[in-house]
Amino acid sequence: MNWSNGFIAVDWGTTNRRAYKLDASDSCAGEFSDGKGILSVPAGGFETAVGEIRQHFGELPLLLAGMVGSNRGWVEAPYVDCPAGLEELAKALVPAPDGSALVVPGVAYRNGRCDVMRGEEVQILGAAAAGEIPPDCLICHPGTHNKWTELEAGRIASIRTVMTGELFSLLKGKSILSELMQGESSPGPAFADGVKRSLSGAGLTSELFGARASVLLGRADPADTPSFISGLLIGEDVRVGLSGGSTRDRPVFVMGRPDLTRLYAAALSQAGVESSAVSGERAFIAGAAKIVELIR
Amino acid sequence: MNWSNGFIAVDWGTTNRRAYKLDASDSCAGEFSDGKGILSVPAGGFETAVGEIRQHFGELPLLLAGMVGSNRGWVEAPYVDCPAGLEELAKALVPAPDGSALVVPGVAYRNGRCDVMRGEEVQILGAAAAGEIPPDCLICHPGTHNKWTELEAGRIASIRTVMTGELFSLLKGKSILSELMQGESSPGPAFADGVKRSLSGAGLTSELFGARASVLLGRADPADTPSFISGLLIGEDVRVGLSGGSTRDRPVFVMGRPDLTRLYAAALSQAGVESSAVSGERAFIAGAAKIVELIR
């Protein structure tokens, strides 16, 4: 593979993918995204799925990150252990079966408890390489599974995943709370009330039912319930994320969709922690460029 | 309604119902149960649904408890506030539209947080009336929604609902953990490990993902995962249930299905609390008989 004329970087997740064309000077010359996550690619279908990307951007080598490197993806790229920096990722790239692409490994944390990530590592290490976040900080990465990542000396030192987004979806989709959760969540008083309860260590699995009981007993407005439950879940997430001893005095950065980052920023602020938002897309491009620089 | 020749008591929940025929001396002379919970009864269909019960047991008056008295049931029986005993329930019975039945109210707790129950109150107060539990104790009532109930001087003083069963079902049914949760749970070492983590205050929403990561990284046997996750959820439930300040030094009773009560008993024991199992069915019959005695 000749990487000197530019390449295509793909953040390929479970339910969607986002591809960027980088030119010879690593500037972004185009991007597209669609809902073709790895779960929608049939067995043996990755050559075709990659072909669609090349129809957009031409015959360039590909750098693929995210769940495409999992055991349900195109080719499994075994996890690199913490502490992991861009050098460790670059050394552990795995070629795709057809020789047209390299797949970025995920990162594993094993220290008493276990945790893993695939995809976020390129964004986080890219943000650090680009100077958008300092080499020592805590990153909060909201999504289906929020990842709290400790960066130490520019390398990923620990990971803690919290299933907040997935739990919210499960409860909203088909639970006794579903009806009460159909509206939008916003960081107002109801959200703050939920955050406060969870930060104080109230039991989430009990407070969730309390949200329903409060409506039944006329003590809460049903219109506030999506925000309150969102506050409970995100408050618990922040409580867990900040519980790592060494993270208290580090700057905190939130990376992700704006609708989520503002809720997390509000909850962090309530916990007495100021945070800054970082663009995950720009960070991904920076990380991919840095990895390719290391193998050119 | 003439209650002197016996009556029919029905514990009518969301997804099933259980009916008992009590003779003139309040002995159980027959019982049947089916899956006709209130959610399966169409609008205007309760007369017919009650008719099916009378086909089994004859033309006797009915005492109906549980979700049948909710706003989705036959007739709404407004909640009685804590502290609530059998006398308070008996005074707040609501006649069904056709005059053939009385509906037992649920119990509400409003004191900072809100909580409610419908159905368990008859079992709990019945067990106390029958002398199966003392007038001051803590009752754990596993099921879709576990209820922790503080009994004080024979009356329900507080309620705390924990959504353990429903969360377990949601995670088992359609989450990233589904595949790993298909086996049975048993109170062995993996269950104990999960309980230990939750009792120590580890964040449940993060530990759940850790269960998957441990399997991915080869640190846990997938066959142990249902028990481990069950331990995490029940351990958190027990942590929350025991967190009420005044409950620590009271005897604890577990009421419910044997497969669940043994898991809760194991988790309580791990928390240093001995518990006893109580039959919910016998308690329900005792409670229903006592309520009818109060209105005869």
At a CB cut-off of 8 Å and minimum separation 6, what does A206 contact? B160, B161, B162, B163, B240
How many Å is the Cα radius of gyration of chain B? 20
The architecture that CATH gives domain B162-278 is: 2-Layer Sandwich (3.30)
The CA distance from A251 to the nearest CA of chain B, in Å, is 22
Q: Do B216 and A176 touch (CB under 8 A)?
A: no
Residue B194 has pLDDT above 80, yes or no: yes
Q: Which residues of A touch B110 (CB under 8 A)?
A: 217, 219
Distances (CA, A) of A103 to A20, A26, A34: 15, 18, 19
pLDDT digits (tens, 9 = 90+) for A5-17: 999 999 999 989 9
Name the residue of chain A whose CA is nearest to B201's CA. Answer: A201
Q: Which residues of A touch B77 (CB under 8 A)?
A: none
CATH class, domain A7-132+282-295, is alpha beta
Tell me how far apart the alpha carbons of residues A293 and A295 are, in angstroms, rounded to a whole number.
6
Residue B250 has pLDDT above 90, yes or no: no
Residue among A115, A206, A210 minimizing CB distance to B213: A115
Strand order in the sheet with B107-111: B80-81, B107-111, B113-117
Q: Which residues of B touch A219 (CB under 8 A)?
A: 110, 114
Position A261 confidence tier, pLDDT thresholds 50, 70, 90: very high
The CA distance from A229 to the nearest CA of chain B, in Å, is 14
Closest-CA residue to B243 (of A198, A202, A194):
A202
Tell me how far apart the alpha carbons of residues A284 and A127 are, in angstroms, rounded to a whole number.
8
Q: Which residues of A touch B219 (CB under 8 A)?
A: 110, 114
ipTM for this model: 0.93
Distances (CA, A) of B168 to A167, A230, B163: 11, 20, 9
Interface test with A, best of B107, B205, B230 (most A CBs within 10 A): B205
Residue A98 has pLDDT above 70, yes or no: yes
Instruction: Encode chain B in three state secondary structure.
Output: CCCCCCEEEEEECCCCEEEEEECCCCCEEEEEEECCCHHHCCCCCHHHHHHHHHHHHCCCCEEEEEHHHCCCCCCCCCCEECCECHHHHHHCCEECCCCCEEECCCEEEEECEEEEECCHHHHHHHHHHCCCCCCCEEEEECCCCEEEEEEECCEEEEEEEECHHHHHHHHHHCCCCHHHHCCCCCCCHHHHHHHHHHHCCCCHHHHHHHHHHHHHCCCCCHHHHHHHHHHHHHHHHHHHHHCCHHHCCCCEEEECCHHHHHHHHHHHHHCCCCEEEECHHHHHHHHHHHHHHHHC
Contact yes or no for A154/A85 (Cβ under 8 A): yes
What pTM does this model have? 0.94
pLDDT of residue A119: 92
The CA distance from A164 to the nearest CA of chain B, in Å, is 7
Mean pLDDT, rounded, for B200-219: 95
Return the domain boundaries, chain B: 7-132+282-295, 162-278
pLDDT of residue A249: 72
Spell out which chain B residues touch chain A, with contact meaning CB-CB distance below 8 angstroms: 79, 108-110, 113-116, 145, 160-164, 166-167, 170-171, 173-176, 201-210, 213-214, 216-217, 219-220, 233, 236-237, 239-240, 243
Tell me how far apart the alpha carbons of residues B5 and B70 are, in angstroms, rounded to a whole number.
28
Position A271 confidence tier, pLDDT thresholds 50, 70, 90: very high
pLDDT of residue A246: 57
Spell out which chain A residues touch chain B, with contact meaning CB-CB distance below 8 angstroms: 79, 108-110, 113-116, 145, 160-164, 166-167, 170-171, 173-176, 201-210, 213-214, 216-217, 219-220, 233, 236-237, 239-240, 243
Tell me how far apart the alpha carbons of residues A103 and B163 are, in angstroms, rounded to a whole number.
41
Evaluate whether B7-132+282-295 and B162-278 have a shared fold. Answer: yes
Q: Which residues of A touch B73 (CB under 8 A)?
A: none
Mean pLDDT, rounded, for A39-48: 94
Q: Do B116 and A219 touch (CB under 8 A)?
A: no
Q: Do B171 and A170 touch (CB under 8 A)?
A: yes
pLDDT digits (tens, 9 = 90+) for B107-135: 999 998 999 999 999 999 999 999 999 99
pLDDT of residue A295: 94
Mean pLDDT, rounded, for B18-46: 94
In chain A, DSSP finds a helix count (H) and a strand count (E) of 9, 14
Residue B245 has pLDDT above 70, yes or no: no
